[in-house]
Structure 1
Amino acid sequence: MNRELTPMGPLAQLRAGRLGRRIPQLVLGLVLYGVSMVLLIRATLGVMPWDVLHQGVSEHVPWSFGTVVIVTSVVVLLLWIPIRQAPGLGTVLNAVLIGIVVDLLLPWVGEPEGWVGRGTLMVAGLLLNAVATAMYIGAQLGPGARDGLMTGFARTTGLSLRLVRTVIEVVVVVVGWLLGGVFGIGTVLYALLIGPLTQPLLPWFIVEVKRGDNPRPEPGVSSADLTGRRP
């Protein structure tokens, strides 16, 4: 299946058509992303790199985990201003919806007993996250706040996206761990596997669209970049 993402600015994303398919796919992808986060949290074997930071911060503020995710997203979006990144509809929904889903679901999912149960939950979380990532990226309605920060810094500094992503994620993991976040095998596996898992799924979820009148491509950003982690 030979489908590629179409580089577009925020307005072009909305003008590109097929919103009746793209918006529901975006929302479902973000909901499933939140579910996958909960599964990894409850597996207690290490969470996604950014969630290490979220967990660490939540140890020091009287907020729910989902609220920390939302506030962190808003802070990251403020960092978009100096690098002149423009958020799309998907960016805004990503910043809000995932945190809401996490808060709604966390009380209903318990921690499994034993290594088999925890490992199964971790694997399920990784696989579901890959599907969810392919879904919301394939909707072509804008990157998440954290991915946009990375691609924006790569564009403005001229550094490779892989280097920028690695530096940012190492920093958030270290800071989160120092604050009390959980770093473990799940964190490492996520960093190594989410790109290879998502990349073959992405063509199945890319909704082909027409370019708007004034598409604004982001130099150096490909579908491989947006899936996150190249092997």
Structure 2
Amino acid sequence: MSTPAPTPAPALVDLGPVAQLRAGRLAHRLVQLHVGLVLYGVSLAMMVRGDLGLAPWDVLHSGLARYLPLDLGQVLIVVSFLVLLAWIPLREVPGYGTIANAIVLGLAADATLAVLERPDDVAARLALMLGGILACGTATACYIGAQLGRGPRDGLMTGLHRRTGLSLRLVRTALEITVVVLGLALGGHLGPGTVLFALTIGPITQALLPAFVVALPTPADVGGGAPVSDASR
């Protein structure tokens, strides 16, 4: 008896903002999107309270927060909308998830920071850092899998990749080096957690993504678009 072929994993597809909302299973995808975004904000706060280094973009956010009358999450929201302005010359089109990403992450981060204290014990801080990285990878897979639009920073990366012809890996690396350097110049928090995050977040997200991708019709069935890779921030 022949062994049945395995069922292929659902694919990520690149849909326009209207097609994203018309693609089906919307209630499920909206819940998944917001769960992922809230978890992402929580993961950011965990790394802040772990105090062993932040994700590259958050090095910049923490540096800016030293000079602005804003909480860290509020800085994240402001930077997100500034990044969205860079989408205009790149001709990137935001979706619902793009705007939700720009707002919900910052609100969730500030809410978590308000109730989560920095522990004195180094082991507890290490657990917060490691848990934050794992939670961030899970959150990223969750919100990307909802297929409701890229986050502002992801769209900047893919837009630069498309317009310059450079590889996604090179564009991402250049962006993250740039924001870390700017963040350090502003007094942002760089540490071993920053390096560990940069090395592990991609593999963690890619490993978890198949479990979270919501199966949708092909792009042709919902009005255009093209399959996209599993690469993620």
Alignment TM class, shorter chain as reference: over 0.9
**TM-score, structure 1 normalization:** 0.94
1:137 is aligned with what amino acid?
I
Aligned residues: 224
Equivalent residue, structure 2, for 1:117 = 124
1:214 is aligned with what amino acid?
G
Equivalent residue, structure 2, for 1:84 = 91
How far apart, CA to CA, are the structure 2 residues paired with 1:2 and 1:18? 17
Question: What do you get for the CA RMSD once the two structures are aligned?
Answer: 1.2
How far apart, CA to CA, are the structure 2 residues paired with 1:81 and 1:7? 18
Q: Deviation of residue 163 (structure 1)?
A: 0.5
1:177 is aligned with what amino acid?
L
Q: Choose from 201, 223, 230 the match for 1:214.
A: 223
Higher radius of gyration, 1 or 2: 2
2:101 is the alignment partner of 1:97: no
2:6 is the alignment partner of 1:22: no
Equivalent residue, structure 2, for 1:34 = 41
Q: Deviation of residue 82 (structure 1)?
A: 0.1
**TM-score, structure 2 normalization:** 0.93
2:52 is aligned with what amino acid?
L
Q: What fraction of aligned residue pairs are identical, expressed as a percent?
A: 52
How far apart, CA to CA, are the structure 1 residues paired with 2:168 and 2:40? 23
> Conserved in 1, the CA contact under 8 Å of 2:38 and 2:104?
yes
Q: Deviation of residue 213 (structure 1)?
A: 3.6
2:14 is the alignment partner of 1:7: yes
2:165 is the alignment partner of 1:146: no
- Structure 1: runs of 5 or more not aligned: none
> Conserved in 2, the CA contact under 8 Å of 1:9 and 1:217?
no
- Structure 2: runs of 5 or more not aligned: 1-7
How far apart, CA to CA, are the structure 2 residues paired with 1:201 and 1:107? 29
2:206 is aligned with what amino acid?
Q
1:85 is aligned with what amino acid?
E
